[in-house]
């Protein structure tokens, strides 16, 4: 094969590669434009869809929530405790769902559940569950209730632990951004308080009310946590 033929063949190959590259680049540019338009449309759809939630959509989502959280949002004792939603403060409820979406709170299952919810649906769910008040599931050791009541109402001054009632109310029904604890599952409260920083406050740049509980959770011993959890789990 002479040199002129080789040069001609290489030139042809280079031109072919350039044409292929241009075609691919053109397709990618078109795909990028289309995807941008799709995302923009999706974003717009999300913005406009939050103004109203149909009864059908709401009831379907409530049924979905109750699959794990139990009938009327009572909570569920399963492989791991699934919390009570019934009677929860709406402001707290909404903030926690946003915390899952923004990864300020860690829970692999709730990451997937929460990120598809529109603001309108979050508000509708919070309002629905706040209005419910089924009987607590119970199951906590009754012998710990008295000690838990004392800590809940008086705190532990020597450990700089304030009374739980100062934020959560005397009946443990919460207040706005502070959650209801009354009737919450005993094992769920124990698990949350003993693993506080592994789940809460995962985005230090956007602190929320979870930072208030961090030093308190750390100051409580496991027996004290069990006592408080037993007390509030019996409240209605």
31 vs 137, more confident: 137
> What is the model's pLDDT at position 44?
37
Distance between start and end Cα atoms, the chain = 93
CB 166 within 8 A of CB 159: no
Contacts of 205 (CB under 8 A, 6+ apart): none
Lowest-confidence range among 41-45, 65-69, 86-90, 175-179? Answer: 41-45
> What is the model's pLDDT at position 229?
98
For residue 43, pLDDT over 90 is answered with: no
Residue identified by tokens 């149909």 is: 54
For residue 66, pLDDT over 50 is answered with: yes
How much of the chain, in percent, has pLDDT values that exceed 70?
78
> What is the model's pLDDT at position 108?
92
How far apart are alpha carbons 229 and 125 in whole angstroms?
A: 26
* Residues 109-130 pLDDT 10s: 999 999 999 999 999 999 999 9
> What is the model's pLDDT at position 51?
55
Q: The pTM is what?
A: 0.76
Mean pLDDT throughout 2-11? Answer: 43
Task: Show the DSSP H helices in 50-154 as ranges.
Answer: 55-69, 90-101, 108-114, 119-130, 145-154
> What is the model's pLDDT at position 129?
98
């Amino acid at each position: 094969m002479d040199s002129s033929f080789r040069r001609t063949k290489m030139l042809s190959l280079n031109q072919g590669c350039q044409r292929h590259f241009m075609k691919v680049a053109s397709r990618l540019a078109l795909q990028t434009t289309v995807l941008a338009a799709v995302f923009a449309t999706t974003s717009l759809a999300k913005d406009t869809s939050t103004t109203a939630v149909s009864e059908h959509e709401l009831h379907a989502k409530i049924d979905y929530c109750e699959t794990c959280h139990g009938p009327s949002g009572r909570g569920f004792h399963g492989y791991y405790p699934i919390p009570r939603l019934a009677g929860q403060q709406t402001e707290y409820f909404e903030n926690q769902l946003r915390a899952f979406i923004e990864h300020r709170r860690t829970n692999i299952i709730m990451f997937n559940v929460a990120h598809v919810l529109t603001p309108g649906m979050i508000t509708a769910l919070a309002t629905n569950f706040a209005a419910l008040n089924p009987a607590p599931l119970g199951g906590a050791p009754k012998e710990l209730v008295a000690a838990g009541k004392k800590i809940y109402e008086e705190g532990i001054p020597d450990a700089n632990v304030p009374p739980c009632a100062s934020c959560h109310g005397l009946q443990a029904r919460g207040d706005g951004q502070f959650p209801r604890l009354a009737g919450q599952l005993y094992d769920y409260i124990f698990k949350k308080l003993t693993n506080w920083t592994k789940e809460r406050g995962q985005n230090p740049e956007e602190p929320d009310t979870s930072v208030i509980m961090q030093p308190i959770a750390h100051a409580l011993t496991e027996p004290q946590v069990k006592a408080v959890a037993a007390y509030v789990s019996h409240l209605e």
